[in-house]
Structure 1
Amino acid sequence: MKFSRKLMGAAVAAGLAFAAAGAQAAVDHTFSVGSLPYSQAVTYTNSTTFFDDVFNFSLSHGSDVNVGFGEITSSAFPNLFKLSILDADVYQKVGNSYSLVYDGIAQAGSQELFSSFNTGLLGAGNYILKVSGAVSGIAGGGYVAQIAAVPEPSEYLMMLAGLGIVGYAVRRKRAV
């Protein structure tokens, strides 16, 4: 009987804590990405907090960009560290505003949240990856974001031509 009262009291206290945390404003992080590829783990300790994180990156020439993001979880304690929503979108800076380039598919639910996508060919310029979501774990939640540029076909052609020239030089040297 005493145990059930303590359990009920803990449940009520946890419910009040969740309600108070739900009234908090969005948490924002901004990351300046150096060169690609780039990977960053982001964690939150407040439960039921919505977040919008921004990763700034630039492309010096046209390239496809691969983006991957996934929730950090614990299989032993699945509700301890959890996200209930996770979404990522790519925007290009145009003047003083941003234009949506790729709209990622939002992940939601009680399963582990993860996704990856390829933006297709993006021109040289400044871009942001915006990752949004909601933390629902008792102890918080987190995710890992990865951004990588994929070389253009012309870069592969130049590499093959260079290897051909090196192979020709080695063969010619052996013949002499």
Structure 2
Amino acid sequence: MFASTLNLTLCRAVLAALLAGSSSVALADPLGYHVEIDTSQFSGAGFLDFAFIAGNSPAPGATATLSQFTGAFGALETQEGSVTGSAPGTLTFGNSSAYNDWFQNVTLGGKFAFNIVFGGDFLNTAGNAGTTFGVGLLDATATSYLGNVNGNLLQFELTPLNGGLPASIAGSTYASIASISAVPEASEWMMLTGGLALIGFALRRRRAVTPA
């Protein structure tokens, strides 16, 4: 009876710790995100425009790394500034140039997705100017925006340290066809997996000591 009660108490304690950990992860500014863009309401050719632009005054260094692309990507149309790689593949943006842009041919009608991870000096260097990462969807003429006639479907605002305020990353969507979700870091996955394994072990021990 004592062993059974102890195991149940342990399970509850571990579960409470996991829930508390999950809440703190959700409230903190993660560095990695998953982005999805649903173009099923459109058809034909189009363009995805990825831009990484620093503020007017000198901004602390920042990077945006895009990977795990899915969707009907075509050939690169134009590239400008501090951008390297390929899509689909991996794209790495810097904010050292005035305008850092990747303009990609796509075939509309399906879903596009990618993961994005931010990094750089802005996380621990004070500054008055941030950096914006945005994604826009354009028609075949490259003159009209789709999903949001005013511009980007989504944006991330990277704000450096400023006085007593820590650096932050804020993601926003401006169209129903775009979504952003946080991607837990590897250490957070390990914490959750380890906690669940501990619960499973405790439950097995509980069943083993329960009288038939």
What is the TM-score when the length of structure 1 is the normalising length?
0.41
What is the TM-score when the length of structure 2 is the normalising length?
0.36
Higher Rg of the two aligned structures: 1
